[in-house]
Amino acid sequence: MTVRRRRYGRSGFGYTVDDTTGEFIKFPGVTKILGMMPRDALVKWAAEATADYAINNWHDLETVPWADRLKRLYGARYQISNPAAHRGTEVHKYADMLVSDEPINMDEVPQELRGYVEAYRGFCDTIEPAALVGGTELVVASRTHRYCGTADLVADLPDVICDRELIPAGRWLLELKTTGKGIYPESALQACAYSRADVFVHPDNPDDERPMDWLKIEHCGAVWIKSDDWELRPLDTGPEVWETFLQLRRLYDLDDSGGLRAWVSSPATVR
């Protein structure tokens, strides 16, 4: 039994899982499934990013042909989103080193990432997470519901307090986020799907498959790594969150197979 992960571009992954016949089947990643969530805020952001680019580059746009202006405007939002995705990938790399007590030469860390790395160092110094051996970048898979994903960190944390309630020391599945505006509800769906997967492997040893129950995860959370600070946010991964994810999983299959388009018939004619 094996689960394999392949990187696409700077921050994307593709997954294949073997079935009972030994053949490998492509499973969608959790983040891809979460793309079925309503994206009103993302649509608003894309429009604003394009408008900001147009205003800030008005003079330059006037000097190029119309077709080139249109291309630049179409791609404007990616000048923000692509570097942000790359930043997240790079910060994750340094975070893995910190939680594993590997030395980091800050002189070799790009200037634009140093604040994030120091913020995560602050999280490690304050919370002192004890990562499981091989507990970073765990590849999880659910053959039952046909999805995969990569969990950032599984670690033991001490007692923490949230909303004046004590969360006793225990084992956490943690997602690391470097977003500009905080932790979104999708993080709860993501962590919920990861924690309820069937099996996990480490990407360096994809043939050593183990049941998720072996990890004994008790809590899920997200660590918001900002350029100058950090926050630990516990996440609800209960039955309501799980059922919401499963609905998105079914919707993903409908959309991927063209089933949604089948809801609209061909044009009718008069006899």
Tens of pLDDT, residue by residue, the chain (271 residues)? 588 888 776 557 889 998 766 788 999 999 999 999 876 665 676 787 788 878 888 888 888 888 888 888 887 776 765 666 667 788 888 888 888 888 898 888 889 889 999 999 999 999 999 999 888 889 999 999 999 999 999 999 999 999 999 999 999 999 999 988 889 899 999 999 999 999 999 877 878 889 999 999 999 999 999 999 999 999 999 999 999 999 999 999 998 888 777 788 888 888 8
Provide the pLDDT for residue 160: 94
CB of 32 closer than 8 Å to CB of 252: yes
Residues 6+ positions from 194 with CB-CB distance below 8 Å: 30, 140, 149, 151, 173, 220
Q: What is the pLDDT of residue 196?
A: 97
Looking at residue 29, what DSSP letter applies? Answer: B
Give the number of residues written for the chain. 271
Interstrand relation of 219-225 and 170-177 (parallel, antiparallel or unpaired) = parallel
The reported pLDDT for the residue numbered 56 is 85
pLDDT at 234: 97
Please tell me the pTM assigned to this model. 0.83
DSSP state of 150: E
3-state secondary structure of 5: strand
Q: Where are the domains of the chain?
A: 3-256
